[in-house]
């Protein structure tokens, strides 16, 4: 499982760089300042959690299984960042209520990591 978290984390990290550059250069003249801010928030949280996935994968390689955290981070990126990208690009407001579900996934992922770390001997 740790190999999957490393791969997905690296993919998410690379995509966040691509999407951030795309927003800065390709979308700057097409989106409002608000929409660009929303898009940038999605990029930032995607990168943070991509790095979290890489950490989970590395810890997994050392024998510490954090699968619950990893799965919740993946779902969190898809729901949180994905809904913000969609909201920024389309302006369709019903994407907004999806974002907090992704945020809850992030919180669960980090909380599960804390619990697992506290269980370490």
What tokens does 39 get? 């898009």
According to the model, what pLDDT value does residue 47 have?
98
Q: What's the pLDDT band for 28 if we cut at 50, 70, 90?
A: confident
Q: Taking residues 3-25, report their average pLDDT.
A: 97
3-state secondary structure 55-72: HHHHHHHCCCCCHHHHHH
87 neighbors 100 (Cβ within 8 angstroms) = no
Per-residue pLDDT tens digits for 35-94: 999 999 999 999 999 999 999 999 999 989 999 999 999 999 999 999 999 999 999 999
Give the Å distances, CA to CA, from 90 to 68, 85, 98, 113: 32, 8, 14, 35
What tokens does 1 get? 């499982």
d(CA 119, CA 121): 6
> Virtual CA dihedral for 111, 112, 113, 115, nearest 10 degrees?
90
According to the model, what pLDDT value does residue 29 have?
87
What tokens does 98 get? 């999806």
d(CA 31, CA 60): 40
pTM of the full predicted structure?
0.94
Instruction: Give residue 51's Cα distance to chain centre.
Output: 9
Q: Which residue reads 């790095």 in tokens?
A: 51
């Amino acid at each position: 499982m740790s190999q999957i978290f490393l791969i997905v984390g690296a993919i998410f990290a690379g995509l966040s760089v691509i999407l951030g550059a795309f927003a800065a250069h390709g979308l700057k003249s097409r989106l409002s300042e608000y929409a660009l801010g929303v898009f940038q928030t999605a990029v930032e949280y995607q990168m943070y959690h991509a790095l979290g996935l890489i950490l989970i994968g590395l810890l997994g390689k050392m024998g510490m299984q954090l699968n619950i955290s990893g799965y919740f981070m993946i779902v969190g990126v898809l729901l949180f960042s994905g809904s913000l990208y969609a909201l920024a690009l389309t302006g369709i407001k019903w994407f907004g209520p999806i974002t907090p579900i992704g945020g809850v996934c992030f919180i669960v992922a980090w909380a599960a990591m804390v619990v697992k770390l506290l269980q370490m001997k």
